[in-house]
Amino acid sequence: MSPSSGDLRALVVGLGSIGRRHARNWASLELGPVAICRQHGAAQPEPLGVEADSFEDLSEALARTRPDVVLVTNPTSLHVQTAREALRAASHVFVEKPLGCAMEGIADLLDLAEATRRFVMVGYNLRFHPGLRRLRRLADGNVIGPILSARAEVGEYLPEWHPWEDYRQGYSARAELGGGAILTFSHELDALCWLLGRPRRLTAMAAHTSALEISTDDVAEIVMEFESGAIGSVHVDYLRRPPRRSLELVGERGVLRWEYERNRIEVYQADSRQVRVEDGDPRFERNDMYKEELRHLVACIRGDLARPLVDGEQGAAILAVALAALRSAATGRTIDFDTDTDATAQRWLKHLDRAA
């Protein structure tokens, strides 16, 4: 019998900003007890503020808490290893994006999830933002006709993300921990694939262009051709002040534009030559989408939903796209997903079809 939502036990592994957010949200939603596992002793900016048993050893934490779900929020380079241990302990797994920083171990991880009858969910939280969901409904409603091109942009100055810590030590800044603008901002790749489906080809340029003391790319441009024939581009950077995130769809009969910071959508229809502005609910706060993400996670654990909105296969597919962008940038080549990726990655990419 599936546990009720209030009976669920969660273990958060990694207590950076996103781990702290998930732990606090789990507690505020009264989903059940939450424990934390911190595998290093970095100073915290403030007390967590919720009741939570704390561990330093993952094996001990899993044995002592027997969690229904493990939320993997440690550095990207540790995601696959941590998720594997959680599955072996019979826990469902929520992994913050991206699923990993290399393809090694991904297939075994997903096979283990299937063998243990546990799911893997990947934390592409933008899918739970009401603005992006509304944009998708408008596109599906043929408001602007067939989509011909798309553009997703995100930029935010890395040193200002977490002012309480040295940006140079965070995983986003360090290649060995799976950082870099392309992997860290793979939200935009996921959003375009969620809207347009599976990509066919990809070309990218990426570089470390600034004075930031990091070992990764800090800016990238990615262009994809989708199975539908639409062309989509993604811009990501660690440099922009003030921050900005937006996504625009160009169709045969108009334009849809979502502006994240202003929480609004602009709809331009060619027949009327008018722009209609849809402002989001003024009560919406950024943390609301993270809470909705946890509610969705709980519904999957309880068996109310057949599978997560972003399951392990989709997370693996987005990782394959992100790594293809890095490979294209390094080699100067266009990556054809039908000929330049292995059969396993091609199967994962099929999970990005618009039927999903």
pLDDT band at residue 6 using 50, 70 and 90 as cut-offs: low
* CB atoms near residue 336 (< 10 Å): 13
Residue 1: its pLDDT value, please? 36
- 153 forms beta bridges with 235, 246
Per-residue pLDDT averaged across 216-227, rounded?
A: 98
Whether residue 36 is predicted with pLDDT greater than 80 in this model: the reply is: yes
> Three-state SS for 34?
strand
Residue 42: its pLDDT value, please? 67
Give the list of residues 6+ apart from residue 296 with CB closer than 8 angstroms, or none: 128, 305, 308, 309
CATH code reported for the domain at 129-284+315-352: 3.30.360.10
Whether residue 343 is predicted with pLDDT greater than 90 in this model: the reply is: yes
> Which is nearest to 96 in space by CA: 210, 1, 172, 8?
172
Per-residue pLDDT averaged across 344-353, rounded?
A: 94
Q: Are 154 and 127 in contact (CB under 8 A)?
A: no
User: What is the chain's mean pLDDT, rounded?
Assistant: 95
Give the list of residues 6+ apart from residue 125 with CB closer than 8 angstroms, or none: 187, 289, 290, 293
Residue 3: its pLDDT value, please? 52
Give the list of residues 6+ apart from residue 114 with CB closer than 8 angstroms, or none: none
* CB atoms near residue 225 (< 10 Å): 17
Q: Is 279 exposed, middle or buried (0-12, 13-18, 19+ CB in 10 A)?
A: exposed
* Stated pTM of the model: 0.95
> Three-state SS for 276?
strand
Distances (CA, A) of 217 to 33, 74, 247: 39, 20, 22
Q: What percent of the chain has a predicted confidence (pLDDT) above 90?
A: 93
Burial of 78-89, coded b for 16+ CB within 10 Å and e otherwise, reads: bbbebbbbbbeb
Topology at the third CATH level for domain 5-126+291-310? Rossmann fold (3.40.50)
* Domain residue extents for the chain: 5-126+291-310, 129-284+315-352
* pLDDT tens per residue, range 60-114: 999 999 999 999 999 999 999 999 999 999 999 999 999 999 999 999 999 999 9
Q: What is the C-alpha end-to-end distance of the chain, expressed in Å?
A: 28
Residue 2: its pLDDT value, please? 47
On the question of a common fold for 5-126+291-310 and 129-284+315-352, the answer reads no
* CB atoms near residue 29 (< 10 Å): 14
- Stretch (H or E) spanning 348: helix 343-349
* CB atoms near residue 168 (< 10 Å): 13
* pLDDT tens per residue, range 235-273: 999 999 999 999 999 999 999 999 999 999 999 999 999
Per-residue pLDDT averaged across 113-127, rounded?
A: 98
pLDDT band at residue 352 using 50, 70 and 90 as cut-offs: very high
Residue 47: its pLDDT value, please? 86
* pLDDT tens per residue, range 284-313: 999 999 999 999 999 999 999 999 999 999
